[in-house]
């Protein structure tokens, strides 16, 4: 949401979203024009811009909250199986699965390298030496990731991998799932009708 706020921040100004002024930020001596671009005499925050920014941030916050809730309450294998049942690209699901499996392996590798260096360090290094060590460890980690990816791919081929990602969790649509989807769609339609003012009249 914070990154989204930085993106939508210019939209609250009358330069982007004309409307009723709420707060005057800057007063100029007169309108300014630079080729096809122009600035009004007053740069203000508009009510329409605030409403649009609030709606955008609310949608982003709701999406992020639902994504976090999904990952905290579901197994990754179930999420990947659900993505495949929704016809997500095979290579995309497989890449996510491999990333989830081996991300913690590389984090442990980086922690081990840092602990090994720290246990052998008596006095602090200079900033240049710190940068040199960090750059070298980045290179080592990159090389290890390439070597590990090749070993993993060979191991997968030796076990009969033919390009199809198979999950142990097989997702099948149940009546409860259909009811949940229908309830979500109904709630979405109701919210849209409220937003359009159809149900308010």
pLDDT, tens digit, 9 for 90 and up, residues 31-43: 777 777 777 788 8
DSSP, collapsed to helix, strand or coil, labels residue 52 as helix
- The answer on 190 and 180 residing in a single domain is yes
Q: Do 83 and 93 touch, CB atoms closer than 8 A?
A: yes
Tell me the C-alpha distance between 55 and 11, whole Å.
12
Domain range holding 191? 171-201
Q: Which of 73, 95, 117 is the last residue of a domain?
A: 73
**Percent of the chain at pLDDT exceeding 70:** 95
Looking up tokens 């007053």 gives 42
Mean pLDDT of 47-52: 90
pLDDT, tens digit, 9 for 90 and up, residues 150-187: 998 899 889 888 777 666 666 677 788 889 889 989 98
- The answer on 164 and 90 residing in a single domain is yes
Q: Which of 73, 98, 121 is the last residue of a domain?
A: 73
* pLDDT value at 140 more than 80: yes
Contacts of 65 (CB under 8 A, 6+ apart): none
- The answer on 69 and 48 residing in a single domain is yes
- The answer on 101 and 20 residing in a single domain is no
Q: Nearest 5°: CA angle at 5, between 3 and 58?
A: 110
Q: Minimum mean pLDDT among 4-8, 82-86, 156-160, 165-169: which range?
A: 165-169
- The answer on 166 and 180 residing in a single domain is no
Tell me the C-alpha distance between 24 and 26, whole Å.
6
pLDDT, tens digit, 9 for 90 and up, residues 109-120: 899 998 988 888
Number of structural domains (the chain) is 3
H or E segment to which residue 164 belongs: none
Q: What's the confidence (pLDDT) of residue 185? A: 92
- The answer on 143 and 99 residing in a single domain is yes
Q: Which of 73, 91, 113 is the last residue of a domain?
A: 73
């Amino acid at each position: 949401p914070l990154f989204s706020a930085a993106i939508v921040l210019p939209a609250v100004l009358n330069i982007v979203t004309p409307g009723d002024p709420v707060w005057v930020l800057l007063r100029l001596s007169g309108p300014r024009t630079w080729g096809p671009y122009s600035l009004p005499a007053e740069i203000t925050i508009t009510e329409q811009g605030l409403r649009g920014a609030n709606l955008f941030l609310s949608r982003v916050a709701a999406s992020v909250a639902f994504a976090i809730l999904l990952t905290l309450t579901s197994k990754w294998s179930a999420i990947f199986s659900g993505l495949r049942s929704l016809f997500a690209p095979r290579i995309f699901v497989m890449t996510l699965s491999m990333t989830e499996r081996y991300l913690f392996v590389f984090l442990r590798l980086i922690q081990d390298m840092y602990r090994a260096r720290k246990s052998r360090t008596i006095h602090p290094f200079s900033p240049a030496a710190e940068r040199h060590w960090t750059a070298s460890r980045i290179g080592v980690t990159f090389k290890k990731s390439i070597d590990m990816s090749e070993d993993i791919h060979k191991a997968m081929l030796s076990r009969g991998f033919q390009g199809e990602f198979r999950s142990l969790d097989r997702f099948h649509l149940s009546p409860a799932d259909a009811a949940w989807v229908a309830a979500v769609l109904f709630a979405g339609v109701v919210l849209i009708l409220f937003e359009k003012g159809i149900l308010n009249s």
